[in-house]
């Protein structure tokens, strides 16, 4: 079910230009996941790849 959270996060990103810019500045998946977690979306690297 957490891969569903990754998909929800991608939808939220589409609505938020500031978040898009922040994510474009990171190249490390762990940093990407941490930004998502800071916004309440928790998922693993594997789940990120599946989303």
Determine the pLDDT at residue 13. 96
The mean pLDDT value of the chain amounts to 92
Q: What is the pLDDT of residue 1?
A: 53
Q: What are the sequence ranges of the domains in the chain? A: 2-50
Per the listing, tokens 């990103």 go with: 13
**H helices of 1-51, where?**
2-15, 17-24, 29-38, 45-50
pLDDT (tens digit per residue) in 14-38: 999 999 999 999 999 999 999 999 9
Give the C-alpha separation, 13 to 36, whole Å: 9
Band the pLDDT of 3: cuts 50, 70, 90. Answer: confident
At residue 14, the pLDDT reads: 97
């Amino acid at each position: 079910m957490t891969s569903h959270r990754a998909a929800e996060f991608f939808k939220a990103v589409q609505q938020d230009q500031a978040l898009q810019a922040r994510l474009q500045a990171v190249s490390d998946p762990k940093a990407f996941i941490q930004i998502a977690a800071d916004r309440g979306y928790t998922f693993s690297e594997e789940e990120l790849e599946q989303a």
